[in-house]
Amino acid sequence: MGELYQQMERDLKLKNLAASTQAAYLRCCRGFVQYHMKSPRELGEAEVKEYLEHLLMKGAGPETLKMCVAGLKFLYGVTLDRPKVAERLLWPKVPHKKADILAGSEVLKLLGLVKSLVSGMVLITGYGAGLRVGEACRLRVEDIDSKRMLIHVRLGKGGKDRYVMLSPRLLTALRRYWAEVRPTGPWLFPGRKQGTHLSPAAVQMALRKAVKAAKLKKRVTPHSMRHAFATHLLETGNDIRLIQALLGHASIRTTARYAQVSRTLVARAKSPLDLLGTQAGAVLG
């Protein structure tokens, strides 16, 4: 893409999208150019649809297709300033599967089976504070405020900062971890390379081994710790708006998904059938 690639790269930076999103958009557009072997300036809606159909035939899933549509919409809508092409690209329907939620005993078992000390501490922090794995990996030493019992989460999703609770049990675990690892740089969870933080991929690998050792049949990723945090807070009676703030969700609708997957809340609900003919059922008329 040459000059156009640099222009799109600059536009993405000015838009201040997450680094991973920028990389994904650029990757999709490179694939588009390589498929047609022409500059996007010479291509239009028909060629974009042909490429998306090509991806579909190759077995691309709905999430991959959606990301590619987003990248091409940005290319044509922003960088090439051809909004009509961008507008006519349809979003693929992505099925919303209910996440597998870990029980408290499963979380405890998994955390005990993680062999890597640093990766294990990232997962404990993810569950203890509801952090995304990237947010946990990027924590700095000064982000742990033991006086106010808060964790400062910097540049979360959407480039927003927030504060979350620092649980006493997590603080104790972090102090034990600090005494053993003694991180020398700014990062609380250092990577192997000097001056870098631990990568989410390393955490994923360590967790995958723990899941295998635990013989769990559920689909578990580092994000499952955040899911478990939110669901367990709901199940212990915490207000959904507090959970929204802790998770850093812009919309309450995003947080409400956890109410849908909480088996405890579903089981706790009473059917109106049980109320018929009782004193409590008088409100039904």
Catalytic: which of 73, 138, 197, 226? 226
Q: What is the DSSP string of 215-234?
A: T--S---THHHHHHHHHHHH
Contact 56, 102 (CB under 8 A): no
CA distances from 161 to 1, 10, 60, 141, 248 (A): 35, 24, 34, 16, 8
Looking at this protein, which amino acid is placed at residue 222?
Answer: P
Catalytic: which of 25, 73, 127, 132? 132
Is 258 known to be catalytic? Answer: yes
Is 226 known to be catalytic? Answer: yes
Looking at this protein, which amino acid is placed at residue 175?
Answer: R
Q: Can you state the percent helix, strand and coil of the chain, rounding each to 5?
A: 60, 5, 35
Is 232 known to be catalytic? Answer: no
Contact 189, 121 (CB under 8 A): yes
Contact 71, 26 (CB under 8 A): yes
Catalytic: which of 36, 140, 223, 257? 223
Cα–Cα–Cα angle for 72, 74, 78, nearest 5°?
Answer: 130
Catalytic: which of 51, 127, 177, 258? 258
Helix residue ranges per DSSP H, 37-167: 45-57, 62-74, 83-87, 104-113, 117-129, 133-137
On the 0-12 / 13-18 / 19+ scale of CB atoms within 10 A, 263 is exposed
Catalytic: which of 109, 157, 162, 257? 157
CA dist., res. 285 & res. 283, Å (int): 5
User: Cα–chain-centroid distance for residue 131?
Assistant: 9
Is 88 known to be catalytic? Answer: no
The residues that are catalytic are 132, 157, 223, 226, 249, 258
